[in-house]
Amino acid sequence: MRLRQHLGLVSSPSIYTSAIARFGNNTPHRRRTTRSRTMSSSASDAAPFEKPRAVVKKVLAESQPEGQGATVRRSIGRHELRNLDPFLLLDEFTVSKPAGFPDHPHRGFETVTYMLEGAFTHQDFAGHKGTIKTGDVQWMTAGRGIVHSEMPAGDGVHKGLQLWINLSSKDKMIEPRYQELESKDISRGESEDGGVEARVIAGEALGAASPVYTRTPTMYVDFTMRPGSRLHQPVPEGWNAFVYVVDGEGVFGRETATAHYCLVLGPGDGVSVWNRSTRPLRFVLVAGQPLGEPVVQHGPFVMNSRAQIQKAMEDYYYGKNGFERAGQWSSSA
Residues 62-67: contacts with CB within 8 Å, 24+ apart?
Answer: 66/15, 66/16, 66/19, 66/91, 66/93, 66/101, 67/15, 67/16, 67/19, 67/95, 67/99, 67/100, 67/101, 67/102
Residues of each annotated binding site: 104, 106, 148, 150
Q: Rounded CA gap, 111 and 310, in Å?
A: 22
Q: Rounded CA gap, 155 and 145, in Å?
A: 31
Q: How distant, in Å, are the alpha carbons of 22, 132, 183 from that of 70? A: 18, 18, 24
Q: Which residues contact 175 (CB under 8 A, 6 or more apart)?
A: 7, 8, 9, 143, 144
Residues of each annotated binding site for Fe cation: 104, 106, 148, 150
- Which residues is 67 bridged to in the sheet? none
Radius of gyration of the chain (CA): 19
> Which 8-state DSSP code applies to residue 326?
G
Q: How distant, in Å, are the alpha carbons of 18, 203, 288, 293 from that of 215? A: 25, 12, 11, 15
CA angle at 268 for the pair 267 and 273, rounded to the nearest 5°: 105
User: What strands lie across the sheet with 119-124, from one edge to the other?
Assistant: 101-106, 146-152, 119-124, 129-133
- Which residue, among 123, 152, 142, has the nearest Cα to 330 in the 3D structure? 123
Q: Rounded CA gap, 209 and 53, in Å?
A: 22
